[in-house]
């Protein structure tokens, strides 16, 4: 079975579980943010994907990180993915789950990367701006990513809106080197 089929299958199964438990919004959001954190931290990613470590130790890492902050269903689903040997696909599964949940609500998933957390008001302004720019109803996921430095980078499907300081600096550097 192809990797994409496996990812989609797990995402659909997680969606059904979260819907049955009446916790879809919270679970898919928490799993999405957890998966993004795992991807950003190499040591954590290695710990969760290391088949040489007992699965109980890997699951203990998840329980320690999520603890009381997450819905117990989120923790259960994350540990299920580790036990099933799918930790290396955690980010892809969480992204697909978020996309499926957005589609279920007739929304389009947009991921926004920001160097700092956004307030509810800022989130709403960004959501409205992306909805206006794309003509779509938007489900917004904000990922804190210090590499952005400042500004925002948004991805809606294949379209990227890059208003980050790092991109502006790189653009300015290219213009200066061309004119110099």
Q: Are residues 83 and 142 part of one domain? A: no
Give yes or no for a contact between 6 and 86, defined as CB atoms under 8 angstroms apart. Answer: yes
CA-CA distance, 43 to 180, in Å (whole number)?
A: 43
Tokens of 114: 């920001």
Q: Are residues 158 and 135 part of one domain? A: yes
Q: Give Cα separations from 8 to 33, 49, 88, 116, 155 (angstroms).
A: 18, 19, 14, 31, 20
Question: Whole domain around residue 135: which residue ranges?
Answer: 107-180
Of 106, 140, 165, the position where a domain reaches its end is: 106
Arithmetic mean of pLDDT over the chain: 91
Q: Is the pLDDT of residue 148 over 90?
A: no
Per-residue model confidence as pLDDT tens digits over 132-142: 999 999 999 99
* Model pTM score: 0.83
Per-residue model confidence as pLDDT tens digits over 95-108: 999 999 999 999 99
Of 106, 131, 164, the position where a domain reaches its end is: 106
Q: What is the pLDDT of residue 129?
A: 93
Q: Are residues 149 and 77 part of one domain? A: no
Calculated CA dihedral for residues 15, 21, 27, 28, nearest 10 degrees:
20
CA angle at 92 for the pair 139 and 122, rounded to the nearest 5°: 30
Q: Are residues 146 and 135 part of one domain? A: yes
Q: Are residues 97 and 112 part of one domain? A: no
């Amino acid at each position: 079975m192809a990797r994409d089929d496996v990812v989609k299958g797990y995402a659909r199964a997680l969606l059904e579980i979260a819907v049955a438990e009446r916790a879809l919004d919270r679970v898919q959001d928490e799993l999405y943010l957890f998966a993004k954190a795992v991807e950003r931290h190499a040591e954590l990613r290695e710990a969760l994907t290391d088949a040489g470590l007992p699965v109980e130790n890997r699951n203990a890492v998840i329980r320690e990180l999520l603890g009381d902050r997450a819905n117990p269903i989120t923790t259960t689903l994350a540990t299920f993915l580790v036990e099933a040997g799918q930790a290396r696909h955690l980010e892809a599964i969480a992204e697909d789950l978020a996309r499926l949940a957005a589609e279920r609500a007739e929304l389009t998933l947009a991921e926004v990367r920001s160097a700092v957390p956004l307030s509810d008001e800022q989130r709403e302004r960004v959501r409205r701006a992306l909805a206006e720019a794309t003509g779509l109803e938007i489900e917004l996921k904000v990922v804190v990513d210090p590499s952005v430095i400042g500004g925002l980078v948004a991805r809606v499907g294949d379209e990227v809106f890059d208003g980050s300081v790092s991109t502006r600096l790189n653009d300015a550097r290219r213009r200066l080197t061309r004119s110099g």
